[in-house]
Structure 1
Amino acid sequence: MSKIIALKENNCKSCLKCVRNCPTKAITFESGSPEIIEEECLSCGRCYLFCPQSAKEVRSDLERVRAWLKAKEEVVISVAPSYPIVWPNFSKLKQALLEVGFSAVEETAQGAAVVSSQYVGLMREQSMTNIIETCCPVIVRLIETKYPSLISQLSPIASPMIIHGRMLKEKYPNAKVVFLSPCVAKQNEALDERFTGSVDAVISMPEMDEWLLDTELYDEEAIEPQENIARLYPISGGIIKTIDNFSGYKRLAVEGIERCQTALQSIENGHLKGFFFEMNACLGGCLGGPYLYAYKENEWLAQTRILKAEEAGKIDYQDCSLPVSAKWQDDHVDQPEFSEAAIDEVLQSMGKADYSRQLNCGACGYDTCREKAIAVLLGKSDPKHCLPYALENAESISNLIIEHTPNGIIVLDAFRKVKEINPSAIKLLKLQNFSVKGFDIQSILPSGQISDVLDHLDGVKYFIEEYPDAGKVIEHAVIPVKEENASFIILMDLTEKMQQEEKLKQLRRDTIASTQKVIDKQMRVVQEIASLLGETTAETKVVLTNLNKTIEGESE
């Protein structure tokens, strides 16, 4: 498969939404950023559609087509029957496309009519257990990669896009053929070597809508000169509505990849036989295509426009001179099997050794923790991408710090009520005998400063307060949490520090008193021999007095 969906790494925030929405989990996150596994990808476009960061982009042929038109090459365009969700008036759309340089504008519904005719012929043969129509390339790819045993039940008929492309090539032998698409997967179908030469380029409907933005195309729908019942193809059950005779086959329309997978599983198990299946990967049929999500509110009005085609006659078998057949192939990717011990080892590394801890929340993109573990072993997923485990781990570390820090921590709500209090705060304030959650902060911190600080709390504020009843001197750091309209207080016990400082001051005071006694005694002695010592006595007194003052100054 050609790579049609690429990653814009700078936009990716590793939210895993693409993995959660990928029906085959064809995305690996092992390297820290998503990478599409091409051989498993269905090209359904859901990763592109649901990415909230616009980190996926789809290959575009728009500039190639513009270059052809600029070079005055002959270019014809096949317009998919989903067009009414964007442009209600085909005649105006056709005129606008001709004006920008296309040589001819025709409806893909012409190819769809041939496809319905061939389905009628196939059912007349009565040679197939079930017939799964092959208009949706996503469903074809799903069967080729995930349900290869059902390839024999795929209709051997090419899609309307391919058959109409061949019709246009026959009608305009020198022309480039462009398909106007609601679907990402049509890019891959056009590039498929089995259909080489049928369609030269694909333009998405949003790309064309932007191109024709300044053109008045949105008037009420005009009466179409020729109705074609094959215009019903883009709505759910539309293919079935076009067929006149099912030759005894029962018919079922299934939409949505997950529902189609359930139906395919049932077919594989032998529960369904003798059915014609219309399967569409998108909910709502092709009107729900990934390129049309921005026009979703137009879907119901578009259906009413499309359903007018029911008035046209149903389709019976007609011979076709063009090649209409297609061959499908087994592209199944064999996956290694892992032992229970290997799976359990991964589960244990994610903190899920016990079954009760396997929440199967799906946040990682996998339906169960076991599937996640297998994805890790396959190299698709990073074991750290487990939201409950990451939260629990973060909370565990946070709780460990809060529970064992020597500082008291009190969390207050918007009404200054105690929301949380840690063991150190309880011990510091001697509150072991009762729960204080819900108490007003003043009832457990009878500080004259706390109310004023909380009233004017526009940043971190510090203050020191003595609590005689608790026998503590505490420094407070009051911190606002504006996002939560709350605050918390860190209590740092200064009692021991203050006591040590007081002991040191007392020691200094005692030293001063002792020094003064020594000075007094020495002065009495020296006075007796004053005549002999003279200035020396005065100098001694000055030195000792200065020493005393120094010690006294340090004790203040």
Structure 2
Amino acid sequence: MDRLNPIFTESTQCQDCYKCVRHCPVKAIKVENGSATVMPEICVLCGRCVEVCPVGAKRIRDDLSRARQLLRRKSRVYVSLAPSFVTEFPGLEPERLISALKLLGFAGVSETSLGAQEVSAACAALIENGDRDIYISSACPVVVEYIRRHSPSSVGFITPLLSPALAHCRLLKRHFGEEIGIVFINPCVAKKGEADNNSDLLDLSITFEDLRNWFQGEGVDPYSCPISEEHVFLPERAREGALYPMDGGMISGILQGRSLPDVTFMAFSGHQAVLQALEGLDTMPRGRKIFMEILACDGGCVNGPRSARKGATAAKRMAIENYAPQGLDQPATAMVETGASYDAVTVSRQTHTPAQIQQALILVGKSDSEDELNCGGCGYYSCRDFAMALLEGRAEPSMCVSYMRKLAMKKANALIKAIPSGVVIVDRNLKVIECNERFARLLGDDAQLVFDARRGLEGASMEKLVPFHNLFTLVMEGSEEVLIKDLRLQERIVRLSVFPIEKGRIVGAILQDITQPAVRREHIVDKAREVIKKNLTTVQKIACLLGENAAESEIILNSIIESFSISDAGDEKKN
């Protein structure tokens, strides 16, 4: 079920804007029946679709009910608190946050940074003693999942170590017992997936946004919570691990009190930086060891998808550095086993021949390269990418804006040409945008000649074409919503209906020659129906006065309608 995934779609709110498709770095969005849903087998849980959705149709799974159940089910549940809490609750003393969390029912609070320190120590030893040339950090679950699913040739470069969060869980279970429950609180969506896949270590992950909602629901204000000596981080305060949530923080942790002169350290953050950093690793010159810290969010975890505020990265970085203890000379040594393994995930990938792609392009009206606008309106980088998505069932033809516009224009033009009445569309300057031949014929021979010569009257001034151009102005200015009048036009009586298409910019009109026999009969029938409607309204108000006269009037008028309807039917059969 979609809602069981960390990210899901509220389909009734999806407005098929394709913004999520456009911003998804791996195109893990499938559009079906106008609704965009996440494809979990492709998704890396970066949370971009959630951030950019203008109507909030992309949702993050709410695990607060599971957290409450965990507190009821287990006697001791501990919080693993991500170091970015410093930027999520600015100015809040850690002791007060611990106090607030204990009011929710947690047995204690520990810093995830302790797990980061375990990873730093293990990673430093791995780089120093290992025989690889390239090492990619395993701290960011988005990066790890991207490599496993979309860049499998680079899986061997991932450091075979647990993430800081999972290493911390192992550390907590060593200190407090295997039976404890652990809830990880952080700004990341992907950590929910990591918890789902490692339930033996981590029970569940909730975001800081979830936590704020929890505080609000329970009436807990962390800024006013009382503190005491028991409100401290367990089992101890973290050190250099507190630098992890900013880009370059893991490298700083690894180098804290260590010297690795033969290693080149690189830090990358941001979705595009991730994709670019992983390009060409297979062909990179070997010889010197390289460690790559890669984080999916710009600036690091401090700007995670569920962080309270985006940006202000410099201020957040300063807050993190001010909180983390500085000047540590002695490097930490690993206290728990942090080893892990990462395998490529098989993602079904279809291959398409040029002929198949061309057929898909023709389906959306692109028969040659000039038709391939590559506008990106569908959410894909190019028309050919969109064509491949069509072939794979991830997209629909209606997503192509240019195709739908052309289709709408063809339908409108066909309708305008086929309609037996005169039709004209004009702009705010009363210049003709579009009209049919019947309209020109109603205006007379001169207009008909111009129409035939130019195949239309586009650009012609209504002020010169018709004497009743002021009626178009009335509707254009909003004085009349819909204006209907019977007018004399040369030797004819026409019924003019003027209506707005785009308020204040474009209006349309239909001219019907009611002097024609068939139209005249229809006109009389309409008038009769109008009389019936008005008469029945009167009957409802003064029924006691009218008595049977109203019913007799209705019978007479209905007989008129019937007679004309039969006459029309007979004429049609003769024709």
Give the TM-score band, short-chain normalised.
Answer: 0.7 to 0.9
Aligned to 2:295: 280
Query: Partner of 2:500: helix, strand, or coil?
Result: strand
Aligned to 2:194: 189
User: Aligned partners of 2:238 and 2:174: how far apart in 1?
Assistant: 23
Aligned to 2:213: 210
Query: Partner of 1:203: helix, strand, or coil?
Result: strand
Deviations 1:187-214 (A, max 9, x none): 111222xx44221121211011122234
Of structures 1 and 2, the larger Rg is shown by 1
Of residues 164, 167, 184, the one that matches 1:179 is: 184
User: Aligned partners of 1:451 and 1:112: how far apart in 2?
Assistant: 72
User: Aligned partners of 2:7 and 2:296: how far apart in 1?
Assistant: 18
1:476·1:492 contact (CA, 8 Å) conserved in 2? yes
Whether 1:466 and 2:488 are equivalent positions in the alignment is yes
Deviations 1:383-419 (A, max 9, x none): 332121111111221123234544333334446x225
Aligned to 2:556: none
1:85·1:298 contact (CA, 8 Å) conserved in 2? no
Aligned to 2:390: 376
User: Aligned partners of 1:98 and 1:304: how far apart in 2?
Assistant: 28
Letter in 1 for 2:51: L
Of residues 230, 236, 244, the one that matches 1:233 is: 244
1:458·1:480 contact (CA, 8 Å) conserved in 2? no
- State the shift of 1:466 in Å: 2.6
2:209·2:306 contact (CA, 8 Å) conserved in 1? yes
Query: Partner of 2:281: helix, strand, or coil?
Result: helix
Residues 132-171 of structure 1: matches in 2 within 5 Å?
132-171=136-175
User: Aligned partners of 1:499 and 1:218: how far apart in 2?
Assistant: 78
User: Aligned partners of 1:26 and 1:382: how far apart in 2?
Assistant: 15
Query: Partner of 2:464: helix, strand, or coil?
Result: helix
In structure 2, relative to structure 1, the CA distance for the partners of 1:109 and 1:475 (3 Å cut) is same
1:186·1:202 contact (CA, 8 Å) conserved in 2? yes
TM value normalised by structure 1: 0.80
- State the shift of 1:497 in Å: 5.1
User: Aligned partners of 2:377 and 2:244: how far apart in 1?
Assistant: 36
2:303·2:311 contact (CA, 8 Å) conserved in 1? no
2:81·2:112 contact (CA, 8 Å) conserved in 1? yes
Residues 34-73 of structure 1: matches in 2 within 5 Å?
34-70=36-72, 73=75
Aligned to 1:551: none
- State the shift of 1:422 in Å: 1.5
1:243·1:316 contact (CA, 8 Å) conserved in 2? no
In structure 2, relative to structure 1, the CA distance for the partners of 1:35 and 1:482 (3 Å cut) is closer
1:87·1:217 contact (CA, 8 Å) conserved in 2? no
1:131·1:153 contact (CA, 8 Å) conserved in 2? yes
- State the shift of 1:283 in Å: 1.5
In structure 2, relative to structure 1, the CA distance for the partners of 1:423 and 1:14 (3 Å cut) is closer
2:435·2:457 contact (CA, 8 Å) conserved in 1? no
User: Aligned partners of 2:67 and 2:478: how far apart in 1?
Assistant: 66
2:64·2:214 contact (CA, 8 Å) conserved in 1? no
1:243·1:314 contact (CA, 8 Å) conserved in 2? no
In structure 2, relative to structure 1, the CA distance for the partners of 1:381 and 1:467 (3 Å cut) is closer
Letter in 2 for 1:240: I
2:432·2:461 contact (CA, 8 Å) conserved in 1? no
**299-308 vs 165-174, which moves further:** 299-308
2:119·2:334 contact (CA, 8 Å) conserved in 1? no
1:384·1:390 contact (CA, 8 Å) conserved in 2? yes
User: Aligned partners of 1:162 and 1:474: how far apart in 2?
Assistant: 80
- State the shift of 1:321 in Å: 3.5
- State the shift of 1:251 in Å: 1.7
- State the shift of 1:129 in Å: 1.0
Deviations 1:95-140 (A, max 9, x none): 1112222111111111111211222212211511111011001111
Whether 1:492 and 2:512 are equivalent positions in the alignment is yes
User: Aligned partners of 2:106 and 2:520: how far apart in 1?
Assistant: 93
- State the shift of 1:141 in Å: 0.8
User: Aligned partners of 2:113 and 2:420: how far apart in 1?
Assistant: 77
1:117·1:316 contact (CA, 8 Å) conserved in 2? no
User: Aligned partners of 2:373 and 2:469: how far apart in 1?
Assistant: 49
User: Aligned partners of 2:472 and 2:319: how far apart in 1?
Assistant: 69
Query: Partner of 1:268: helix, strand, or coil?
Result: coil
Query: Partner of 1:25: helix, strand, or coil?
Result: coil
Aligned to 2:568: none
- State the shift of 1:448 in Å: 9.6
Query: Partner of 1:291: helix, strand, or coil?
Result: coil
Residues 411-490 of structure 1: matches in 2 within 5 Å?
411-414=425-428, 417-424=430-437, 425-429=439-443, 430-431=446-447, 432-433=449-450, 441-447=462-468, 450=471, 457-468=479-490, 471-481=491-501, 483-490=503-510
Aligned to 1:328: 342
Aligned to 2:201: 198
Of residues 404, 416, 420, the one that matches 1:390 is: 404
Aligned to 2:524: none
- State the shift of 1:163 in Å: 0.6
- State the shift of 1:4 in Å: 2.5
Letter in 2 for 1:445: V
2:514·2:520 contact (CA, 8 Å) conserved in 1? no
User: Aligned partners of 1:169 and 1:492: how far apart in 2?
Assistant: 84
Letter in 2 for 1:353: S
Instruction: Among all aligned residue pairs of Structure 1 and Structure 2, give the percentage whose two residues are the same amino acid.
Output: 29
Query: Partner of 2:397: helix, strand, or coil?
Result: coil
Letter in 2 for 1:235: M
User: Aligned partners of 1:47 and 1:207: how far apart in 2?
Assistant: 18
User: Aligned partners of 2:336 and 2:154: how far apart in 1?
Assistant: 27
Query: Partner of 1:6: helix, strand, or coil?
Result: strand
**472-481 vs 333-342, which moves further:** 472-481
User: Aligned partners of 1:456 and 1:63: how far apart in 2?
Assistant: 53
**Superposition RMSD on alpha carbons, in Å?**
3.3
2:424·2:436 contact (CA, 8 Å) conserved in 1? no
- State the shift of 1:26 in Å: 2.1
Whether 1:91 and 2:95 are equivalent positions in the alignment is yes
User: Aligned partners of 1:453 and 1:307: how far apart in 2?
Assistant: 67
**82-91 vs 125-134, which moves further:** 82-91
Deviations 1:432-467 (A, max 9, x none): 559977776443222498489658843333223334
In structure 2, relative to structure 1, the CA distance for the partners of 1:61 and 1:73 (3 Å cut) is farther
Aligned to 1:545: none
In structure 2, relative to structure 1, the CA distance for the partners of 1:279 and 1:312 (3 Å cut) is same
Letter in 2 for 1:125: N
In structure 2, relative to structure 1, the CA distance for the partners of 1:498 and 1:22 (3 Å cut) is closer
TM value normalised by structure 2: 0.77
User: Aligned partners of 2:395 and 2:47: how far apart in 1?
Assistant: 20
Letter in 2 for 1:205: F
User: Aligned partners of 2:138 and 2:494: how far apart in 1?
Assistant: 78
Letter in 2 for 1:87: F
User: Aligned partners of 2:203 and 2:520: how far apart in 1?
Assistant: 88
Deviations 1:159-183 (A, max 9, x none): 1100111111111114211100211
Of residues 271, 284, 291, the one that matches 2:306 is: 291
Whether 1:80 and 2:95 are equivalent positions in the alignment is no
User: Aligned partners of 1:22 and 1:285: how far apart in 2?
Assistant: 18
1:229·1:309 contact (CA, 8 Å) conserved in 2? no
Letter in 1 for 2:96: K
Gapped regions of structure 1 (runs ≥ 5): 502-556
